[in-house]
Amino acid sequence: MQQITIITPDDWHLHFRDGDLLGETVPATARCFARAIVMPNLVPPVINAKLAMEYKTRILKARPQGSHFEPLMTLYLTNQTTKQDIIDAKNSGVIAAKLYPAGATTNSAQAVSGIEALYPVFEEMQIQGLLLLVHGEVTESHVDIFDREKIFIDQYMAKIVQAFPELKVVFEHITTSDAADFVLNSASNVGATITPQHLLLNRNDLLVGGIQPHNYCLPVLKRSSHQQALRKVVAGGSNKFFLGTDSAPHAKHAKENACGCAGCYSAWSALELYAQVFDELGALDKLEGFTSFHGADFYGLPRNTTTLTLRKQSWTVPEFVTLPNGDAMVPFFAGKTVDWKLV
């Protein structure tokens, strides 16, 4: 197949950041996605409806002229989040709340410690129909970083899903066969997003031949067997799995640093890279479901009606992107060839 036309997709997990960065990140996403779930881990974080709506206004101002791109806003859960915060968020149009275990990723220091203490909040989310988005890793320093997702499932995720059977839960950016199996074996209220980097790379791409800082993300890349498990589930076409790029911008100097930032900025190539993966797997017929249907259906939102076309045509991801403040940023797959291109 040399060309494929699909319903315009959505990105069910990304980071826009804020300020002048929006002038880069919003157009990059709006070029091919109709909607996107916007992560709330700003500084300070988006902890209530008022902050969420103010952030949405800033994102809308950064849309390209004529674009109908729609940001879907989320709340950042803390140990101070109340039931009233959830009610207010629902009434304002926020559609989900994000659970970050404290210290799990960028700007998560103010997140949750003692997850069981949030059960009353989860109960209110279940009542209000607000989705729970979970960064599923434990953060205790003694736990091996490659085991943190599996241990989170055993210690927390399985218990949350059992305690709140009507709460829709998205296991974000899964990285292991354990997480894939957990989602497959759970009820229909549990889904998962999968990133392009976790389908394309494994920990060799992070560590072999020297540290590759631009492939460093959290959750960290896992061994090849886990990568192959993720590729298998997307090729299988299960409606429990859907597109979530976790695109996360960081300046080059912040990544190439003694304590480099975690995150891959994939907005300019993610859709094309997903197409490349599905092509490699002989599963292009499953691409549209993963990119355009499963997420919308899981969130209970209407599917998009417009279309876009991808053509099998090689191109090279730029070595860097210049940010509005003049800093350079290295995009995901920089300098590498992609086999599919947005028409």
Catalytic residue positions, numbered:
246
What number of residues does the chain have?
343
Q: Is 189 annotated as a binding residue?
A: no
Q: Is 10 annotated as a binding residue?
A: no
DSSP string covering 255-291: HSSTTPPP-B--TTTHHHHHHHHHHHTT-GGGHHIII
CA distances, 108 to each of 15, 99, 104 (Å): 13, 10, 6
Q: Is 246 annotated as a binding residue?
A: yes
Asked whether the beta carbons of 31 and 67 are under 8 A apart, the reply is no
> How are strands ordered across the β-sheet holding 241-243?
11-14, 35-38, 70-76, 96-99, 131-134, 169-171, 190-194, 241-243
Q: Is 135 annotated as a binding residue?
A: yes
Return the half-sphere exposure (C-beta side, CA atoms, 13 A cut-off) of residue 336: 18
Asked whether the beta carbons of 82 and 115 are under 8 A apart, the reply is no
Q: Is 60 annotated as a binding residue?
A: no
DSSP state of 117: G
Q: What is the CA radius of gyration of the chain?
A: 19
Question: Residue 213 corresponds to which tokens in the numbers above?
Answer: 């800082």
Distance between CA atoms of residues 310 and 13, nearest Å: 22
Q: Is 118 annotated as a binding residue?
A: no
Q: Is 214 annotated as a binding residue?
A: no
Q: Is 173 annotated as a binding residue?
A: yes
Task: Give the Cα-Cα-Cα angle 95, 100, 102 (nearest 5 degrees).
Answer: 150
Q: Where are the alpha helices (DSSP H) in the chain?
A: 22-30, 49-61, 83-92, 119-128, 148-152, 158-163, 177-185, 196-200, 204-207, 224-236, 252-255, 270-280, 287-288, 294-299
- 258's CB contacts (< 8 A; 6+ apart) are none
* Binding-site positions: 13, 15-17, 41, 98, 135, 173, 218, 246, 250, 262
* Binding-site positions for Zn(2+): 13, 15, 98, 135, 173, 246
* Binding-site positions for substrate: 15-17, 41, 135, 218, 250, 262
